[in-house]
């Protein structure tokens, strides 16, 4: 099978994590995969640099690349609206029998003008893919996606890469990062952007009486300087460790006690929750799409109401005071992830869906 992934940007974010996982496992199973998008040249995969995230000028420049793309592609898997538009043009100019699947990664306000354009573009896709049940329902009800072309497939990760480590090894890793073994470690992993609501964790650190809590922030983004400044102004800079982008992220999960994902908008799944779960680390996250698919509150993780951020403080206080329960909750998180969120399950599901698309007349 010949597959192209089209995306606006490459290198970070949950959409790139999914693309990378899909690419790795489809190549492993002898399929041909090409990646197209801004930043493609920086990957180790077979790719074509297409600057789809650079406005009108970038889109026009991207159109000039269409005839560099193969004319016998089977599946175009697209990951942003502008990529979908590009894939539609590619189909009609270059690859008439192409089947298009669109994965919906960013949940924006339904009545935004741009969403009218999305509703039109969706009609040209063979399949609309959702990562969570709630997003699937929103797409069908609000975006008028026909249920016959709407499919839910959970993303997956490799449990061999993300795993539980012994306490002795965990302590050694904490020493490597100069972190006290007695501290309770909160972890945020992801883009440093306003919608991720990282400042809420900083507010918690500023208000808690527990002096033995450290926050590790692994990721980069436009909000980094603002967050650094806020940690200084709240006088909690000694409690916060900014690591930037981390290649060996499984190592960082291993030293944490709890992942915190307090997103206030745009979340459609939350891949980091699954990565942490495979490492035996439970998550406290907001109740945006993906939460109910991933977590049974109090059993394998924790959920708070995004519209009531103060409830995160209350829940986090309770978790910290009952930290002795976390190893068992972490084991339950890993067990749930093994049942639902492995790369093998994701591969089987997407392979079946791709084949279903190719069988369509």
Q: Which domains does the chain have, with CATH numbers?
A: 2-156+342-359 (3.40.50.2000), 167-340 (3.40.50.2000)
Q: Give the separation between CA 59 and CA 52, rounded to whole angstroms.
A: 5
- Give the three-state DSSP class for 168: helix
Q: What angle do CA 289, 290, 291 make, to 5 degrees?
A: 95
Q: What is the pLDDT of residue 179?
A: 87
**HSE value, Cβ hemisphere, 13 Å, CA-based, for 88:** 15
Q: What is the pLDDT of residue 271?
A: 92
Q: What is the pLDDT of residue 106?
A: 81
pLDDT of the chain along its 361 residues, tens only?
999 999 998 877 778 889 999 999 999 999 999 999 999 988 999 999 999 988 889 999 999 999 999 999 999 999 999 999 999 999 999 999 999 999 999 877 666 677 788 889 999 999 999 999 999 999 999 889 999 999 999 999 999 888 888 888 888 889 888 888 889 999 999 999 999 999 999 999 999 988 899 999 999 999 999 999 999 999 999 999 999 988 889 899 999 999 999 999 888 899 999 999 999 999 999 999 999 999 999 999 999 999 999 999 999 999 999 999 999 999 999 999 999 999 999 999 999 999 999 998 7
Q: What is the pLDDT of residue 110?
A: 61
pTM score of the predicted model? 0.90
100 DSSP β-pair partners: 76
Pair of tokens at residue 212: 């033995």
Q: What is the pLDDT of residue 73?
A: 97
Q: What is the pLDDT of residue 213?
A: 96
Q: What is the pLDDT of residue 14?
A: 79
CB within 8 A of 196, min separation 6: which ones? 188, 190, 223, 261, 262, 263, 264
Q: Give the separation between CA 75 and CA 78, rounded to whole angstroms.
A: 9
């Amino acid at each position: 099978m010949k597959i192209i992934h089209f995306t606006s940007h490459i290198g970070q974010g949950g959409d790139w994590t999914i693309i990378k996982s899909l690419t790795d496992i489809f190549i492993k199973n002898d399929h041909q995969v090409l990646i197209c998008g801004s930043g493609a040249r920086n990957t180790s995969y077979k790719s074509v640099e297409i600057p789809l995230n650079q406005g009108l000028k970038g889109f026009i420049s991207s159109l000039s690349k269409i005839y560099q793309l193969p004319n016998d592609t089977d599946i175009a898997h697209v990951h942003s609206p502008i990529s979908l538009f590009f894939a539609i043009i590619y189909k009609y100019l270059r690859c008439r029998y192409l089947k298009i699947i669109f994965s919906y990664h960013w949940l924006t306000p339904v009545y935004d003008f741009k969403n009218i354009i999305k509703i039109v573009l969706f009609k040209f896709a063979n399949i609309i893919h959702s990562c969570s049940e709630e997003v699937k329902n929103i797409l069908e009800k609000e975006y008028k996606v026909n249920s016959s072309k709407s499919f839910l497939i959970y993303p997956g990760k490799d449990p061999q890469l993300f795993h539980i480590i012994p306490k002795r090894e965990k302590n050694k890793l904490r020493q490597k990062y100069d972190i006290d073994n007695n501290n309770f470690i909160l972890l945020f992993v992801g883009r440093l952007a306003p919608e991720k609501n990282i400042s809420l964790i900083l507010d918690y650190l500023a208000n808690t009486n527990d002096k033995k809590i450290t926050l590790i922030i692994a990721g980069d983004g436009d909000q980094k300087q603002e967050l650094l400044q806020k940690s200084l102004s709240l006088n909690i800079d000694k409690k916060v460790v900014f690591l930037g982008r981390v290649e060996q992220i499984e190592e960082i999960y291993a030293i944490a006690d709890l992942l915190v994902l307090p997103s206030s908008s745009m979340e459609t799944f939350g891949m980091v929750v699954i990565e942490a779960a495979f490492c035996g680390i439970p998550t406290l996250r907001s109740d945006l799409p993906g939460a109910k698919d991933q977590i049974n509150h109090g059993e394998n993780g924790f959920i708070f109401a995004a519209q009531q951020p103060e409830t995160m403080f209350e829940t986090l206080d309770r978790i910290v005071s009952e930290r002795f329960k976390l190893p068992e909750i972490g084991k339950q998180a890993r067990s749930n992830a093994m049942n639902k969120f492995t790369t093998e399950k994701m591969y089987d599901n997407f392979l079946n869906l791709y084949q279903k698309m190719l069988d369509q007349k």
